[in-house]
Amino acid sequence: MFAPYRERGLLAGRVVRVDRGLCDLVTVGGTVRADTEFVVPRDPMRVVCTGDWAAVDPEGADPRYVRQLLPRRTAFVRSTSSKRSEGQVLAANVDQAVIAVSLGNDLDLGRVERFMALAWESGAQPVLALTKADLVPDAAVLAHLVQDAQSAAPGVPVHAVSAGTGYGLAEFGALVTGGTAALLGQSGAGKSTLANALHGAQAMEVQAVRDADGKGRHTTTTRNLLLLPGGGVLIDTPGLRGVGLFDAGDGVGQVFAEIEELAADCRFQDCAHEGEPGCAVLAAIDAGELPERRLDSYRKLVRENQRIVAKTDARVRAELRREFKRRGAEGRAAMRVKKGLQP
């Protein structure tokens, strides 16, 4: 895949850090810093991101430019918190999307389900890390919490870990020894501390949480990529306030696979599971086989996703129309000049 770039004398590099207008890439010749001017489209989904593979100018070029981003295998995307609904890529080419959820707060299963939907949607294998397990000293309580979390994340490995005491770290570490894992989760969830513990070094500055409910502001704006001692690569992403779904219909379906399976047996194909006769989903709730909370959460996420998809499609269409007008006005010559700059 890289051959055509190599023929042009370009180096393959993996993005480990992104700054405004610049990024660090790991190449065979070590870490290099390069300008991203030629690979910054307006679409935030296509902006350079930690984990990206890229073709970069060889040594000697000054300034050095990233010439081309290679297609992504997987991408963890959330919708930006702004009113404009855009996708923001948090990590690219990830094999395992590790969602960190702190046991220091009440376990919010809806949040677990939301993150899991995005994780499945990314194309990576989701993993759930319940962090700060030392804050739950009672083994029976801890076991219950793990069980609850597992019910919200079917098909996902769930691990209770403590970076503080080392609890569960060996088992968890063994899980991420191959390929690329990314740590994702809310600000204050303990991602950086966990990354440091796995990395065995204070590679990242751990942010103090300012308030008890874990809403401390994170100042980090870059994403970091660490090489783990056992092999494999770990990406730490900045803490998030929250994550919005972004075109994650398939991911939602996977998180609630048992509901979609039940729905196949509803009498009406378009059953809303709201009291229709012959509803297999409500029957499962009545029979105590499906917690009502799951159905409520499923409904909420399906609706949220539908809203964002509707909004995004309209926005993308409007953007395309504007783009065509602009091109018409500037003329083809200008476009050719611009393209000439690009590899």
Amino acid letter, 83: K
Neighbours of 219 (CB within 10 A): 9
Amino acid letter, 168: G
**Distance in angstroms (rounded) separating the CA atoms of residues 108 and 243:** 14
Q: Tell which one of 61, 206, 280, 283 touches ligand GDP (CB under 6 A).
A: 206
The entry of Zn ion, ligand GDP, none that residue 271 binds, CB within 5 to 8 Å by partner kind = Zn ion
Q: Tell which one of 168, 173, 188, 251 touches ligand GDP (CB under 6 A).
A: 188
**CA torsion sign, 253 to 259 to 261 to 266?**
negative
**Distance in angstroms (rounded) separating the CA atoms of residues 261 and 289:** 13
Residue 278 tokens, joined:
């012959």
CB of 90 to ligand GDP, least distance (A): 13
**Distance in angstroms (rounded) separating the CA atoms of residues 245 and 81:** 10
**By the rule CB under 5 A, 284 interacts with Zn ion:** no
**Distance in angstroms (rounded) separating the CA atoms of residues 199 and 192:** 10
**By the rule CB under 6 A, 135 interacts with ligand GDP:** yes
Per CB under 6 A, which region of 35-43, 138-146, 187-195, 302-310 contacts ligand GDP? 187-195
Number of residues that bind ligand GDP (CB under 6 A): 21
CB of 216 to ligand GDP, least distance (A): 7
CB of 130 to Zn ion, least distance (A): 32
Structural contact between residues 196 and 163, judged by C-beta atoms closer than 8 angstroms: yes
Binding mask 237-276 for Zn ion (x = CB under 5 A): -----------------------------x----x-x---
**Distance in angstroms (rounded) separating the CA atoms of residues 314 and 136:** 47
Q: Tell which one of 44, 110, 123, 164 touches ligand GDP (CB under 6 A).
A: 164
Q: Tell which one of 149, 176, 181, 209 touches ligand GDP (CB under 6 A).
A: 209
Amino acid letter, 178: G
Pairing state of beta strands 180-185 and 87-92?
A: unpaired
**By the rule CB under 6 A, 237 interacts with ligand GDP:** no
**By the rule CB under 6 A, 163 interacts with ligand GDP:** yes
**By the rule CB under 5 A, 281 interacts with Zn ion:** yes
**Distance in angstroms (rounded) separating the CA atoms of residues 93 and 180:** 7
Give me the residues that bind ligand GDP (CB under 6 A), please.
131-132, 134-135, 162-164, 185, 187-193, 206-209, 218, 239
